[in-house]
Chains A and B, each alone.
Chain A
Amino acid sequence: MKEKIKHFIIENFLFSERGLKDDEPLFESGIIDSLGLIKLIAFIEEKFNVSIDMSEIMIENFNTVNDIMETLKSRMNPS
């Protein structure tokens, strides 16, 4: 799951050969902007068959690859 997300980010936003760290801040570093977040969420919902609630669309839930994995896991295994 993590590698698919990283690949998506690299292909669609980073446009670079360099790797992406799991704890790299995607928004602060300018890799992803607001529109990018929407595209990322659309990708996650379609690829992993989950539904992200509107109340969860916040930068802090998607700021790093680790944050994205946490958000994704919470949607896949709601407690």
Chain B
Amino acid sequence: MENLVWYFISLCLSIFIYWFILPSRWRSLFLLLMSLLFVSLFNFKYVLYFLLHMILVYSAGLYLDKGEKKKRLILTFILLWLIGNLCFFKYSELFLSAIVESGFGFSWMPKITVPTLLLPLGMSYIIFRLIHFVVEVYKKKNPKCSFIDFGLYVLFFPTFLAGPVERFKPFHTQTMEMKAPDLSSINQGLFRILLGVAKKFVVADTLARWIIPALHTPESHPRFLVLLFVYGTAIQIYLDFSGYTDMALGVSRLFGYKIMENFNRPFFQRNVAQFWRNWHISVYSWIRDYFFFPFFGYRASTLKIYVGIFMTMIVFMLWHKGNLNFLLLGIYHGLGLVVWQLFQEMKRKYPSIRKWSLRPYVHSIATFFTFNFVSISFLLFYLDLPHLYAVLDRIF
């Protein structure tokens, strides 16, 4: 609680200095320094680590913008370096643990304890922003910018911890065109922060305290109640994550930045493809643009595209967390998306199916089915497989 109070006081002071004390040309630098300070509060080593990557990527960007030779090689190196770092911190412990626990090895080998690697906080999002920046510079799509403006985009503290992963161009445009504060933006920012606080700390945390323990003992509750717990889990995850997003967007707004939305009524979507287009929008669209299209989407056969859709969901889920549950989530939703695409093909081929699918009552059924399809899978956020099976067994 004390930390929150200090954060609130610091935020108010920063906003005052940002808008009313500093000349406008110093605002980017001030925000960047605030962001570096924010990162250093978690661990000062993170600051050095991220600065190193920023210098590397920005320097590469300068060369890719002007240089002639070996551009593809430099881009490839930078991408492999960034992805390699991310995978190292996110997944090496998982692989090492799997090897050690499998017992693979010789009897004379000493028992080893897998060290816990401290994943730099916000790293997943930072790496995505760095990759986006350097690829767009390579494609000559990014405007020129100073290191300060680039650094601000990468480390912007309201979105540092949990996104959204804004694209560089709209962010930089706002940096360049930053005007005086207007009351409407401040109001919207404050409202968004309050909404986020209510969603996350009031509703989501309360639901979590109540539902998650209950899900571990489904046999103790009536079947209908367990089903409500399943729905409640999906709603809790949505409120938790979107609450963070609301706070991030609200604080961004107080500094004059309108950041992209991350959620758009996902539980009201009619099919699983539309659901994922409206859930964690910034990361899903990033993986679509920088993984699916480049590797699977260019002049691809139908089979390759379906494999691409499947793999994209696996990558998307493993990006969240590198463990069995999220791998299963990726497989589940990958298959769901492929099945949905096959249904789309059937609609193209058979007018009767197409006609049926356009009926209003079908839309309602489809929305309800999609919600159930997603809700069941979201149990994997909190339950291991035996507990998941127990819940499903209780319901069905």
Contact = CB atoms under 8 A, between A and B. Distances in A.
* Residue from the set A15, A55, A57, A58 with the largest chain B CB neighbour count within 10 Å: A15
B366 to A, nearest CB: 12
Nearest to B294: A54
10 contacts: A11-B348, A15-B354, A27-B277, A30-B274, A30-B277, A33-B277, A34-B292, A35-B309, A38-B297, A38-B305
Interface in A5-46: 11-12, 15-16, 27, 30, 33-35, 37-38, 42
Main secondary structure of the interface of A (DSSP, over half): helix
Closest 5 CB pairs of A and B: A54-B298, A15-B354, A30-B274, A33-B273, A38-B297
Contacts of B288: 34
A12 B293 contact: no
A15 B358 CA distance: 8
A16 B273 CA distance: 19
Contact of A15 (B273, B277, B357): B357
Main secondary structure of the interface of B (DSSP, over half): helix
Given A15-B358, A16-B358, A55-B139, A34 B347 contact: no
Contacts of B277: 27, 30, 33
B289 interface: yes
A48 B220 CA distance: 64
* Residue from the set B292, B294, B298, B300 with the largest chain A CB neighbour count within 10 Å: B298
Contacts of B273: 33
Given A12-B348, A16-B358, A34 B297 contact: yes
B66 interface: no
B274 A42 contact: no
A15 B347 contact: yes
Interface of B: 139, 269, 273-274, 277, 285, 288-289, 292-294, 297-300, 305, 309, 341, 347-348, 354, 357-358
A42 B288 CA distance: 18
Contacts of A42: 299
A49 to B, nearest CB: 15
A59 B292 CA distance: 13
A34 B313 CA distance: 13
B165 to A, nearest CB: 15
Contacts of A16: 358
* Residue from the set A30, A34, A54, A57 with the largest chain B CB neighbour count within 10 Å: A34
Contacts of A38: 297, 300, 305
Nearest to B357: A15
A37 B269 CA distance: 20
A20 to B, nearest CB: 15
Contacts of A35: 305, 309, 341
